[in-house]
């Protein structure tokens, strides 16, 4: 988003820590020696980084040497030269920092096994990870399951979230297991939009303010303040509990008055208003360290059917979509929203086929990635929804979504089947290695941004 504040020391420490972990893994694999755990490697690098920072500070404080008495340079000339040096430094620093960051990300990705890279593509429930019917704690079963499948993200629902202390302990333990296993944080996500979609806010045990639906807030006299406060409220309590991803805001333009699956989840009928308010909400989440997710590309507000149950249809040309439904997603892309979720709606008028948008290269790669220039993480809507499961197996849907250009696969109906299918597809060249690494690179970059404080 527009707010891109970075805590330099923390970010540098994190990048150095991850690089150190990867180097340790590679050396351990080559020479057969024991490798340090992610937590221990991180501790060592953190201490070294702090020492380096203190040394730099000491050098900076002691570096001023008084000029000898005598002939002095022209102050105006010195000022101009200094300004020119500062300008040149300002122009070169961002590129240098970006190059350094990219090198560190590449080192992390290169240090992963094929199985670890494939696991990062999945965003699943704790039940899918552990095999338990309902998960409300994270103990040895979760630790062992994550060691086998170090997935990119875990999404939680109301049944997993009983009260604050239970939720904090569960999420903290899960995050600890992830850091021990891979040295990278795991995405811990939830649907917390406001109104009827509040996994936490609708549970009185959490004692948090119940935020109104975005459609209701859009009717307020000072709508921008209302939406800003809503995002701030949700972002604050999600962060305090240990979440780092919110599958919100809903960026659908309500283009069909009969649409009930979206309804008051949308900010309204005007695409420019939806774009502006979605950005305000997402900015507030980002300020609390919560990655936002615009949904449901290319726009679910014009359908009548519910894609949870079966196929939902749009009947718009691509030009019509560009003039309305795509505008908020274009704005989110421009502002750098962390995630964009692709829906399972079908629109043959726009792309010539009835396949779900999430499995459509025309929608995902040609429009979202190329035309709109989106550089963040493209995640599918739940692959357990009827619009997918009535037409595709878990294996087929997972492979097709990645071929279409998606980066992360949300909640396949059968996780192990989907995982095995993607692994085999990469091994057999159906999904090229570079295609896999492009998605993993985006995922790793976002995770580094979490630790870097931006």
Over residues 200-227, mean pLDDT: 96
CA dihedral 122, 34, 448, 248 (to 10 degrees): 30
**Residue 416 β-bridge partners:** none
- The more confident residue out of 129 and 453 is 129
Between CA 310 and CA 318, with CA 312 as vertex, the angle to 5 degrees is 150
Over residues 206-223, mean pLDDT: 96
Report domain extents, the chain.
1-58, 114-452
Q: Where are the beta strands (DSSP E) in 88-139?
A: 122-124
Write the burial class of residue 15 (CB in 10 Å: 0-12 exposed, 13-18 middle, 19+ buried): buried
Task: Determine the pLDDT at residue 75.
Answer: 47
Task: Determine the pLDDT at residue 339.
Answer: 98
Task: Please report the DSSP string for 167-184 in residue order.
Answer: HHHHHHHHHHHHHHHHSS
Over residues 413-438, mean pLDDT: 98
- The more confident residue out of 440 and 81 is 440
Task: Determine the pLDDT at residue 100.
Answer: 86
Q: Report helix, strand or coil for 229.
A: helix
CA-wise closest residue to 217 among 200, 229, 206, 205: 229
Residue 156 has pLDDT above 80, yes or no: yes
3-state SS track over 63-94: CCCCCCCCCCCCHHHHHHHHHHHHHHHHHHHH
Residue of 191, 264, 331, 381 marked catalytic: 381
In tens, the pLDDT along 66-102 reads: 444 444 445 445 555 665 666 565 555 556 777 888 8
Q: How far apart are CA 422 and CA 419, in angstroms?
A: 5
Over residues 412-429, mean pLDDT: 98
Task: Determine the pLDDT at residue 2.
Answer: 46
Question: Does the active-site annotation cover 308?
Answer: yes
Inter-CA distances, 157 with 167, 171, 188, 416, Å = 11, 13, 11, 20
Over residues 314-336, mean pLDDT: 95
* Structure token pair of residue 369: 């990635």
Question: Does the active-site annotation cover 64?
Answer: no
3-state SS track over 278-321: HHHHHHHHHHCCCEEEEEEECCCCCCCCCCCCCCCECCCCHHHH
Residue 43 has pLDDT above 50, yes or no: no
> Does the domain formed by 114-452 have CATH 3.40.50.2300?
no
- The more confident residue out of 78 and 445 is 445
Least confident of 54-63, 108-117, 136-145: 54-63
Residue of 246, 308, 331, 407 marked catalytic: 308
């Amino acid at each position: 988003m527009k707010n891109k504040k970075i805590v330099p020391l923390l970010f540098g420490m994190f990048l150095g820590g991850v690089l150190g972990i990867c180097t340790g893994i590679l050396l351990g694999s080559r020479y057969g020696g024991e490798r340090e755990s992610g937590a221990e490697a991180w501790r060592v690098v953190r201490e070294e980084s702090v020492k380096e920072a203190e040394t730099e500070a000491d050098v900076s404080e002691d570096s001023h040497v008084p000029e000898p008495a005598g002939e002095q340079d022209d102050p105006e000339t010195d000022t101009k030269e200094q300004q020119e040096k500062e300008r040149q430094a300002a122009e070169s620093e961002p590129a240098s920092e970006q190059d350094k960051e990219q090198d560190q990300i590449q080192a992390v990705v290169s240090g992963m096994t094929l199985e670890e890279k494939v696991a990062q593509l999945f965003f699943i429930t704790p039940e899918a990870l552990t095999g338990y019917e309902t998960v409300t704690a994270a103990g040895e079963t979760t630790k062992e399951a994550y060691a086998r499948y170090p997935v990119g993200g875990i999404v939680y629902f109301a049944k997993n979230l009983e009260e604050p202390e239970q939720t904090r302990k569960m999420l903290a333990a899960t995050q600890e297991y992830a850091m021990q296993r891979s040295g990278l944080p795991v995405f811990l996500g939830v649907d917390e939009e406001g109104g009827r979609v509040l996994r936490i806010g609708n549970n009185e045990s959490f004692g948090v303010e119940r935020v109104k639906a975005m459609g209701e807030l859009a009717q307020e006299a000072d709508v921008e303040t209302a939406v800003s406060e809503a995002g701030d409220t949700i972002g604050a309590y999600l962060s305090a509990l240990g979440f780092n991803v919110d599958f919100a805001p809903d960026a659908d333009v309500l283009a069909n008055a009969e649409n009930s699956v979206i309804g008051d989840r949308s900010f309204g009928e005007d695409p420019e208003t939806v774009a502006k308010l979605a950005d305000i909400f997402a900015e507030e989440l980002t300020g609390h360290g919560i990655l936002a997710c615009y949904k449901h590309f290319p726009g679910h507000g014009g359908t009548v059917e519910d894609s949870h149950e079966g196929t939902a249809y749009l009947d718009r040309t691509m030009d019509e979509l560009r003039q309305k439904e795509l505008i908020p997603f274009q704005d989110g892309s421009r502002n750098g929203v962390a995630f964009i979720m692709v829906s399972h709606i079908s629109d043959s008028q726009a792309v010539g086929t009835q396949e779900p948008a999430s499995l459509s290269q025309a929608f995902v790669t040609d429009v979202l990635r190329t035309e709109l220039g989106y550089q963040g993480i493209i995640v599918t809507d739940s692959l357990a929804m009827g619009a997918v499961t009535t037409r595709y197996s878990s294996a087929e849907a997972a492979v097709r979504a990645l071929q279409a250009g998606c980066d992360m696969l949300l909640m396949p109906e059968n996780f192990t089947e989907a995982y095995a299918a993607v692994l085999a597809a990469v091994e057999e060249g159906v999904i090229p290695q570079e295609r896999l690494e492009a998605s993993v690179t985006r995922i790793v970059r976002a995770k580094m941004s979490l630790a870097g404080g931006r």
